[in-house]
Amino acid sequence: MTATPAPPGLATTGTPALVGRAMTGTPALVRLALRRDRLLLPSWVAVIAGLVTASASAIAELYPQAAQRIALGVTIGSAPALQALTGPVYDAASVGGLTAWRVTTMASVLAALMSILVVIRHTRAEEESGRAELVGACPVGRHALPASGVLVAAGANLLIGVLITLGLAGQGLPVAGSLAFGAAVSGTGWTFTGVAVLAGQLTAHARTASAVAVAALGAAFLLRALGDAARIEALSWLSPLGWAQRVRAFAGERWWVLILFAATGPALAGLAALLARRRDLGAGLLAPRSGPRDAAASLRGTVALAWRLHRGVLLGWTAAFTIGGALFGALAHSVGDLVRDNPQLAALLSRMGGGAGLLTDTFLAAELSVLGLIAGGYAVQATLRLQGEESALRADPVLATAVPRWRWAAGHLGMALAGSAAILAAGGVAAGVTHGLRIGEPALQVPRLLGAALVQVPATWTLAGIAMLLFGLLPRLTALAWAALIAFALLAQLGELLQLDDRIRSLSPFAHVPRALPGPVDPGPLLGLCLVTMVLVLAGVLAFQRRDLRGD
């Protein structure tokens, strides 16, 4: 038997050569991605690294004595609710240990969100818009586009880790702990880089892929929160956010935990590369279902069309808020028992978004304010669906009919405004039910916490107004709406801790939300926020009517 000779041109082609050809053009695409993200990516890096270093400085100033830090750590260690929010404290005696407890989860979540948005923007969104096909007409490899997105996200996470290490070590904290902290945050970002590129293989739409990846992040947070609150280590070890805590920066570093990050991110990216071979360009592994030939009568109208497009996402957000609200409500009673005789912990809860007053109410107010910030994310996402429809050229056939632009925009805006109110209501009702059942007053607590959740609505509407203004006036800069949300979240959650000036903190609409617990509520600030939202929305709609439609 004689071996069949290899065809000309393939005789010298081995696996390394195939891999090399599949990555052809990656450096050029990386440069293109960095050029497109020249403003957004440095902002993410600066915010995350600055958040950690500024928090370390603030904690050193607030708790200068080791005895103060140890007393606080003892209290935190016996508070399951606090551990659900921020994780366990491993070494309260040191400034570094308290810093790791306070901001590891928040910085890791931000790094994960940055990675998800960057990867989806440069992979699935490029395929959905058709630019990937245009790029594919050039001499680039099959995996060059996803590889460029992964490399950009991985590089940004590496830079975050380096800056955190330098920032903490520069304040006199131990170098080993600083390095472990930076590596934990970077590792979480790398892991969710893999999650995002894998999610991009499942669906043909960037919006759905982002939702899948963010849902994975939410599940990771929930697993870590439940594991830390109930002291079930196995649950926390199922979450990359739990891994970040268990690196134990400044508390006897566990360097081997970093292997989990180093293995998971590349493994997920490799799996995504294998799955990419099983689908066509522009398609997802999950094929979209064909709709009926004739539209239902309920779809006749812009509002009905908007409901049809938004309902799946809205139901997912509603389910997540119901779970989150139920969790917070179930934990509130134990927090009240714990801090009733501990003014130091009460002051800490106040810095987390509550205020003076009843301690259980302070905890609930703080957690409902967190739900309000997250609902702002829904408001931005739903409003920017306008841009997605325009970029995908699906707005053109609608607007080519007798539908005016303002009516088309109003349908999506209505879903953003009504939807953010609906998910907050779901969270408030769920918190009221669980908290009411624990103290035997469900009929009293449900309307009370529903009202406390709904006072957050005007602030979320302001974010929708900002997104609408950017869409109408500066459609290429709509990402600034997400930047505004992150800035407001940092001002709301860390403004007190960082001792920022009141004029700076008042830039956030959430700083003007009146305290609803125990009540009564001053309606003046809420009316002011509604007025600001109305002005932003009207300006955005007018600007949209005066500009040309564009497709990306």
Tens digit of each residue's pLDDT, the chain (552 residues): 333 344 433 344 455 666 667 778 889 999 999 998 888 888 889 888 888 888 888 888 878 888 878 877 777 766 666 677 778 888 888 888 888 988 898 899 889 989 998 999 889 888 887 788 888 778 888 888 889 999 999 999 999 999 999 999 998 899 999 999 999 999 999 999 999 999 988 888 887 888 888 888 888 988 888 788 777 888 889 999 999 999 999 998 999 999 999 999 999 999 998 888 888 877 778 777 666 777 777 677 888 888 888 888 888 888 888 888 887 787 777 666 655 555 655 665 555 544 444 667 777 787 788 888 888 888 998 999 898 888 878 888 888 888 899 999 999 999 999 999 999 999 999 988 988 888 888 888 888 889 889 999 999 999 999 999 999 998 888 888 888 888 887 787 666 666 677 788 888 888 888 877 766 778 888 999 999 999 999 999 999 998 888 755
**Long-range CB pairs of 297-306, under 8 A, 24+ apart, other chains included:** 301/411, 302/398, 302/403, 302/407, 302/408, 302/410, 302/411, 303/410, 303/411, 303/414, 305/398, 305/411, 306/411, 306/412, 306/414, 306/415
Cα separation, 317 vs 232, in Å, equals 27
The tokens describing 149, both together, are 């997105």
pLDDT of residue 358: 61
Domain ranges, ordered by start, for the chain? 23-277, 299-546
- DSSP for 371-414 reads HHHHHHHHHHHHHTHHHHHHHTT-HHHHHTTT--HHHHHHHHHH
Determine contact, residues 427/322, Cβ cutoff 8 Å.
yes
Length of the chain: 552
Residue type at 32?
Answer: L
* Cα-based distances in Å from 397 to 400, 403, 417, 498, 508: 5, 10, 25, 50, 38
Cα separation, 366 vs 353, in Å, equals 5
Cα separation, 433 vs 407, in Å, equals 38
Determine contact, residues 185/164, Cβ cutoff 8 Å.
yes
pTM: 0.75
pLDDT of residue 16: 61
The number of C-alpha atoms within 13 Å of 142 and in the hemisphere containing its C-beta is: 14
Cα separation, 462 vs 373, in Å, equals 11
DSSP 280: -
Determine contact, residues 94/244, Cβ cutoff 8 Å.
no
